[in-house]
C-alpha cells in the first residue's frame, strides 16, 4: 500500500493489507548492523535480541497509553546508545530502557523495573514508586 523511510533512513515503514481479510497493518524493515552481544547476569553471552526487548516493553506497556511506534522508537534509541559497542551488560540495557521509559509512562516504568530489578517483596516495589515520585 505505502512505503516510506523511517527513523532517519535507518528503516523502511510499510503499510500493508491482508489479501484475505483486508486488515491493514504496519511492518518495519531494519538495517542489520554488526551484532551486539549481551552479557547476562550469570556471565553467559548471547546475541542481542531486539524482539525480546520489544516484547518485554510491550508487556510493561500493556493497557497503557503507549503506542507500538513509541516502543519501537525507544528500542531504536537504546540500540543507538550502544552503537560501536561489541558487548553490553543486561544492567546497561535495563538502565538505558528505564531512563527512556520513565519519560513515556510511569506505570510502564514501574512494571519494567519490577522485572528488571527482580523485586523480592512489596517493600522494594514501594521504594521504587517512592523514588520515581521524588524524581
Q: What is the mean pLDDT of each run of 10 residues along the chain (135 residues)?
A: 64 88 88 81 93 94 94 94 91 93 91 81 78 74
Q: Which of 23, 117, 26, 130 is nearest to 71 (CA)?
A: 26
Taking each continuous run of H as one helix and of E as one strand, the counts in the chain are: 5, 6
Separation between Cα atoms, residue 8 and residue 103, nearest integer Å: 22
pTM of the model: 0.67
Amino acid at each position: 500500500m505505502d512505503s516510506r523511510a523511517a527513523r532517519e533512513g535507518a528503516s523502511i515503514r510499510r503499510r500493508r493489507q491482508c489479501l484475505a481479510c483486508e486488515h491493514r497493518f504496519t511492518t518495519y524493515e531494519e538495517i542489520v548492523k554488526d551484532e551486539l552481544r549481551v552479557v547476562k547476569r550469570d556471565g553467559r553471552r548471547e546475541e542481542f535480541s531486539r524482539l525480546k526487548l520489544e516484547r518485554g516493553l510491550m508487556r510493561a506497556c500493556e493497557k497503557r497509553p503507549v503506542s507500538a511506534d513509541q516502543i519501537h522508537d525507544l528500542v531504536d534509541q537504546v540500540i543507538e546508545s550502544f552503537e560501536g559497542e561489541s558487548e553490553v551488560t543486561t544492567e546497561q540495557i535495563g538502565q538505558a530502557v528505564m531512563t527512556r521509559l520513565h519519560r513515556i509512562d510511569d506505570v510502564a516504568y514501574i512494571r519494567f523495573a519490577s522485572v528488571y530489578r527482580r523485586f523480592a517483596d512489596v517493600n522494594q516495589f514501594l521504594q521504587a514508586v517512592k523514588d520515581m515520585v521524588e524524581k
